[in-house]
Amino acid sequence: METFALLLQGMATSFELLNLGLLIFGCLIGLFVGAMPGLGSVNGVAILIPITFIVPPTAAIIFLAAVYYGAMYGGAISSVMLGIPGASTAVATVFDGRPLAVKGEAMTALTAAAVGSFVGGTVSVILFTLFAPPLAEVALRFNAPETFALMVMAFATFVGLGGDDIPKTIFSILIGLVLSTIGLDLITGKPRLIFFGIPGFLHGINFLVLAIGIYGIGEMLWTLEETKGKVQMSKLSVNMKEVGRAFSALKKTIMAMNIGSFLGFFVGILPAAGATPASLMSYGITKQLSRNSKEFGNGVPAGVVAPECANNSASTGSMLPMLTLGIPGSPTTAILLGGMILWGLTPGPLLFTQQPEFVWGLIGSLYIANFFTLVLNIALIPAFLMVLRIPFAILAPVIFVLCVTGGYAPTQSLHDVWLMLLFGFGGYMLRKLDYPVAPAVLSIVLGPLAEKAMRQSLILSDGSMGIFFDFASKPIAAVIMYIAIVLLIMPAFGPLYRRFFKKT
C-alpha cells in the first residue's frame, strides 16, 4: 500500500509542467537518436548530460530516462524501414522487421514494434515497482559463473535454430567469436589480434560496425542484385483495414510478448548485460519455442515483437542495479549513473529511502513515458511509411550515407568505416553462400561477456569447469547450464518429438 502511494506521488511528479515537458521532449529526442543509425541511447544520453545540470535531479533523470526509452522505440523504425539497425538494441528487429516491410507489411511491423515495446516497457515497470528490493538481491547473487551459464544458454538458442543448417550456424557463431576477441585481452590487458599493428584494432570490433555493415551495406547489395534496382514496395495505403489487420496480427504474438517482457527484464537487471543481449536472446528463444519457427527470418510479427518487447523491458530492468546497487546494467545506465553522481546523489542501497522523490519520480515517469511513446509512435506511423514511397535509386545512396555515418559515430574513427564496408561485402558473400549471419552478430555481442565471465569463474575455481555444474554451491549456475545443454541438443530430438506429438 505504501508502495502504491509512493508510486502515485511519483506519477504526480511527472505531471508537473517542467517534468512533463521534458518527458515528452525526451521521448521525441529518443525516437530520433534511436532511429538514426549509429546514434543510440548511449550517445543520446551522453550528449545530453550537461544540459541536465540546469534542472533539478528528478527532472534530469526523467528527461534522460525518456531519451533512453524513446530510443528503444526509435531503433525499430530504421530497422524496419531501411533494414539498417537504428541502434544496437534494434538489431534483432531487422531479422523479421525488414522482411515484413519488403513483403508490404511495414504497417504490421511498425505496429508490432510499437505495441511490443509498450507491453515490454509496462510489464517491466510493474515488476520493478513491486519487486525492486528482492530483485536487487538476486542481481547481487548473480555472479560470474551464473553469467557464463546464461551466455551459454543464449548461444544454445541460436545453435538450435530449427530449419537453419546447423554446421553453417556454428561456423557463423565462430566467426563472430573470433571478431569479438580482437582488441584488448580482458584479463591481462595485453593487445591481441591487432592485425598489421593497426591502432584502430585496439578498441576491438564495435558491434554496430558489424551489424550496420552486414545489414545495411550487405542488404543493399543483395537487394540491388536481386531486383536489378527495380525495387517495388507494394501496398502503402494507410486505411482502417490495414490498421485492423496490423492489430489482429498481434494476437499471434502473445507468447513472444511474454518471453520478451520477462526474459528482457531478467537479463536487464543483471549487471553488464543490457538491452542488446536481451533482445537477441529473446528473439532466439521465441523462435526456438514457436510452432512455426521455420517462418522466423522471413517476416513474422512475433519476430519483431520479441526483441522490441525485450529491449524496452531490459532498459527498465537495467535501472534496477543502477539505483539499488550503483552498478550499471547497460552502457546507457553507466552514463546515467555518472550523471546521478554528478547531480549529488549516491546510488546504492540507501537511495530508495534517502531520495524517495527521485526514485519514485523516475519510476512514475516510466509509466507515463511508455504511454506517450506508444501514442507518438502509432501517430507517426503514416509519416514513417512515406520513406517507402521514395524510389530505391534515391533511397540507396541515402542508406549508404546513413551506414557510413552510423559506422563512424560510435568510435569516431575512419578505421571503423572501412571495416564496416568490408563486413558489408563479407556479409553479402555469406548470404549468397546461404550462411546465416545473425549468429555472428549475436556472438560478437555476447562473446566478450561470456569470455570475461568464464575466465573470472575459472580464476575463482582454480581452473576447474566443475564450478558451472555444482548444484551445492552454485545452484543457479548449474540449473541454467543444464537447461542450456537441453536447448543445445533439442534440435536433434525436436523433429522426432513433433512427429510423435502430431500422431497422438
Stretch that binds other proteins, among 48-56, 95-103, 255-263, 425-433 (CB under 8 A): 48-56
Helix (H, G, I), strand (E, B) or coil at 296: coil
DSSP percent split of the chain into helix, strand, coil, nearest 5: 80, 0, 20
Is residue 82 a contact partner of residue 385, using CB atoms and an 8 Å limit?
no
Residue 87 DSSP code:
S
Q: How far is the CB of 307 from other proteins (least distance, A)?
A: 23
Q: How far is the CB of 210 from other proteins (least distance, A)?
A: 16
d(CA 75, CA 48): 18
Query: Residue 235 — left, alpha, or beta (φ > 0 → left; ψ -120 to 50 → alpha)?
Result: left
**Separation of CA 206 from chain center:** 15
Kindly state whether residue 335 participates in binding other proteins, applying the rule CB under 8 A.
yes
User: Which C-beta is closer to other proteins: that of 162 or that of 326?
Assistant: 326
User: Which C-beta is closer to other proteins: that of 77 or that of 270?
Assistant: 270
Kindly state whether residue 476 participates in binding other proteins, applying the rule CB under 8 A.
no
Instruction: Please report which helix (H) or strand (E) contains residue 192, including its range.
Output: strand 191-192
- Interface map 96-115 toward other proteins (x if CB under 8 A): --------------------
Q: How far is the CB of 373 from other proteins (least distance, A)?
A: 24
d(CA 478, CA 476): 5
Q: How far is the CB of 342 from other proteins (least distance, A)?
A: 5
Contacts 24+ apart (CB under 8 A), 466-474: 467/145, 468/145, 468/148, 468/149, 474/145, 474/146
d(CA 49, CA 343): 10
C-alpha cell at 281: 536472446
Q: How far is the CB of 192 from other proteins (least distance, A)?
A: 10
> In the range 155-214, which residues lie near other proteins by CB under 8 A?
183-191, 197, 199, 202-204
Kindly state whether residue 347 participates in binding other proteins, applying the rule CB under 8 A.
yes
Kindly state whether residue 225 participates in binding other proteins, applying the rule CB under 8 A.
no
Kindly state whether residue 452 participates in binding other proteins, applying the rule CB under 8 A.
yes
Q: How far is the CB of 57 from other proteins (least distance, A)?
A: 13
C-alpha cell at 331: 552502457
d(CA 43, CA 61): 16
Q: How many residues bind other proteins (CB under 8 A)?
A: 54
Kindly state whether residue 64 participates in binding other proteins, applying the rule CB under 8 A.
no
Amino acid at 330: S
User: Which C-beta is closer to other proteins: that of 152 or that of 477?
Assistant: 477
Q: How far is the CB of 334 from other proteins (least distance, A)?
A: 3
Q: What angle do CA 89, 250, 248 make, to 5 degrees?
A: 150
Kindly state whether residue 37 participates in binding other proteins, applying the rule CB under 8 A.
no
d(CA 200, CA 183): 9
Q: Which of 228, 234, 241, 344 binds other proteins (CB under 8 A)?
A: 344
> In the range 397-416, which residues lie near other proteins by CB under 8 A?
411-412
d(CA 197, CA 10): 53
Stretch that binds other proteins, among 112-120, 302-310, 345-353, 391-399 (CB under 8 A): 345-353
Q: How far is the CB of 40 from other proteins (least distance, A)?
A: 12
C-alpha cell at 270: 543483471
Contacts of 310 (CB under 8 A, 6+ apart): 120, 259, 260, 261, 263, 264, 267, 275, 278, 279, 281, 282, 283
Question: How many residues are given for the chain?
Answer: 504
Q: How far is the CB of 63 from other proteins (least distance, A)?
A: 14
CA distances in angstroms from 179 to 149, 173, 230, 412, listed in the order given? 21, 10, 35, 19
- Across-strand partners of 191? 184
Kindly state whether residue 471 participates in binding other proteins, applying the rule CB under 8 A.
no
> In the range 249-288, which residues lie near other proteins by CB under 8 A?
271-272
User: Which C-beta is closer to other proteins: that of 86 or that of 145?
Assistant: 145
Rg (C-alpha) for the chain, rounded Å, is 22
Stretch that binds other proteins, among 15-23, 170-178, 335-343, 376-384 (CB under 8 A): 335-343
Q: Which of 459, 465, 486, 492 binds other proteins (CB under 8 A)?
A: 459
Q: How far is the CB of 448 from other proteins (least distance, A)?
A: 10
What would the DSSP string read from start to end of 451-491?
A: HHHHHHHHHHTTT-GGGGS-TTT-HHHHHHHHHHHHHHHHH
- Interface map 286-325 toward other proteins (x if CB under 8 A): -----------------------------------x---x
Kindly state whether residue 456 participates in binding other proteins, applying the rule CB under 8 A.
yes
- Interface map 117-156 toward other proteins (x if CB under 8 A): ----------------------xxxxxx------------
Query: Residue 204 — left, alpha, or beta (φ > 0 → left; ψ -120 to 50 → alpha)?
Result: left
Stretch that binds other proteins, among 167-175, 228-236, 342-350, 480-488 (CB under 8 A): 342-350
Q: Which of 350, 375, 386, 398 binds other proteins (CB under 8 A)?
A: 350
Q: Which residues bind other proteins (CB under 8 A)?
A: 42, 46, 49-50, 53-54, 139-144, 183-191, 197, 199, 202-204, 271-272, 321, 325-328, 331, 334-335, 337-339, 341-342, 344, 346-351, 411-412, 452, 456, 459-460
